[in-house]
Amino acid sequence: MENDRSRNYQKELDSLISQIQKNGTVPRLLLHCCCAPCSSYVLEYLTEYFEITLLYYNPNIFPETEYIKRINELKRLVGEVEYKNPVSFAECSYDGEKFISAVKGLEDCPEGSERCFVCYELRLREAAEAAKNGGFDYFTTTLSISPYKNAVKLCEIGERLAQEYGVKYLPSDFKKKGGYLRSIRLSEEYGLYRQDYCGCVYSKAERERKKAGKAQSQI
């Protein structure tokens, strides 16, 4: 099945979950997570049907203090919420140079374009490999909950890696069914830190330019 904008990933996920319920199984899911706010709704939703291991692998995040802040907030969320099925945590060491190397030559690409697609694959490949090594039934990512992330491209990369590694990719566009709005409400409920840039040094610089431009226009 081709990945294109005519596909409804939420309907595909609904169909898959319906089959899981009919089978009476609780599959193991390796869920790549980017931050606590994005993970809040995705965990609330998917732990009804899956046993989840969170994979925090985000070498794109800059600076390292931001990386630590986000991972600690995610750990706090998981520690405070009771989920229907077990949730465990797999933390990777920080390796910012790996991201810098991966996107070399794409530094000036605008946010949401080719540099981001390389970043998607960098993180999803780690998730696919971890899912294969851990004997998981599925892998996916929380990234599609963001209105700034390309769900079509994420699923395209995920399904290609699924074929390469032999682990099924869970089709998803978590912003659907009010997912993004629910994540905002959950963030408020748990007092979660919500960052104002995607994570990398380039998105941080772009955000600072926009803030400076907005401030200048108000003078």
Mean pLDDT of the region 123-131: 98
Q: Taking a C-beta distance cutoff of 8 angstroms, is the pair 59, 119 a contact?
A: no
Q: How far is CA 210 from CA 60, 134, 203, 215, in A?
A: 20, 42, 11, 9
pLDDT at site 54? 98
| Average of per-residue pLDDT values in the chain | 94
pLDDT confidence of 218, banded at 50, 70, 90? low
Q: Taking a C-beta distance cutoff of 8 angstroms, is the pair 21, 175 a contact?
A: no
Mean pLDDT of the region 37-43: 98
Q: Which fold has domain 9-217?
A: Rossmann fold (3.40.50)
Locate the domains of the chain by residue range.
9-217
Is a pLDDT exceeding 90 seen at residue 194? yes
Q: Which two tokens stand for residue 109?
A: 């690409």
% of the chain residues with pLDDT over 70: 95
Q: Which two tokens stand for residue 135?
A: 């004997």
Q: Which two tokens stand for residue 154?
A: 């994420």
pLDDT confidence of 1, banded at 50, 70, 90? very low
